[in-house]
Amino acid sequence: MRKRLFEIIEASRGEDRASSVYDAFMIVLIVVSLIPLAVKGEHPALVALDKACACIFALDYLARLSTADFKYKSASVLSFVRYPFSFMAIIDLLSILPSFTAINGSFKVLRLMRMFRAMRILRVFKIARYSRSVKIIGRVFRRSKDALVAVGSLALAYVLISALVILNLEPDSFDSFFEAVYWATVSLTTMGYGDIYPVTTTGRVFTMLSAVFGIAIVALPSGIITAGYMSELTKEQEQTEEEIT
């Protein structure tokens, strides 16, 4: 019975209808559970909705804990000790606890900061467990991490160098290096809020050049991720065809 429970709560590969239904239900539930966070205040109906979702998430957590030996393919009791410290288990727990502070008033320590309410947004990361597309993107990031780290380093260097240049070109417009870094960051992303900007001709020319280079740098990770995603889809399709044949 526990083995069948494990097969249902684990992400479906398509052939298990019960598991597919469970995955779809949990994705919908995760989205619904975020609705109370979009409303200011504590409406009774939304509080009840949040508590109901939290209870279902808690049952899911307990079910996964009780079948940890199947997950790690080991009958040792260490499997049940290891699971609570896994990344997804920690995400599950942190997304559930803030809701239970409203049920049990004894959790005074957890209610000291309002940030615990916002921690329920961590539920969105639970979708990674049920969504095939999110899992593919996760594999793309892992396999492309070297290229992404290189691009990230290039972007960081661009921001710092641009900040240093603009701070010296426009000492009257930027009061600190942090303001220059802020300006360089919004220039890199081509957002340009307009709250801090150069006023001299030299500074504006540098800003135009900086914006052009910023577009190129921002485009690099998009190409890497897209290429990796297409590669992963091709591999999955080939594996599916091999299993069929």
Q: pLDDT for 80-124, tens place per residue?
A: 889 899 888 888 888 887 776 544 444 444 444 445 555 666 667
Q: Is 67 left (phi over 0), alpha (psi -120 to 50) or beta?
A: alpha
Specify the CATH architecture of the domain 2-130: Up-down Bundle (1.20)
Q: Are 180 and 163 in contact (CB under 8 A)?
A: yes
Q: How far apart are CA 76 and CA 54, in angstroms?
A: 29
Q: Tell me the residue type at 243.
A: E
Using the predicted structure, report yes or no on whether residue 220 has a pLDDT greater than 60: yes
The SS3 assignment for 145 reads helix
Using the predicted structure, report yes or no on whether residue 237 has a pLDDT greater than 50: yes
The ranges assigned to domains in the chain are 2-130, 143-244
Across the range 139-149, mean pLDDT stands at: 85
- Residue 158 CA: distances (Å) to CA of 138, 170, 203: 27, 18, 16
pLDDT (tens digit, 9 = 90+) per residue, 19-54?
A: 888 888 888 888 888 888 777 777 888 888 888 988
pLDDT at 108: 47
Using the predicted structure, report yes or no on whether residue 3 has a pLDDT greater than 70: yes
pLDDT (tens digit, 9 = 90+) per residue, 58-83?
A: 999 999 999 888 888 887 888 888 98
Torsion of CA 128, 133, 138, 139, to 10 degrees: 140
Tell me the pLDDT of the chain averaged across its residues.
80
Q: Which CATH class is domain 143-244?
A: mainly alpha
pLDDT at 197: 82
What pLDDT band is residue 240 in, cutting at 50, 70 and 90?
low
Q: Are 28 and 49 in contact (CB under 8 A)?
A: no
Which of 145-149, 155-159, 192-196 has the least mean pLDDT? 192-196
Using the predicted structure, report yes or no on whether residue 133 has a pLDDT greater than 50: yes
pLDDT at 47: 83
Q: How far is CA 208 from the centre of its chain?
A: 33
| The two structure tokens encoding residue 104 | 């049990």
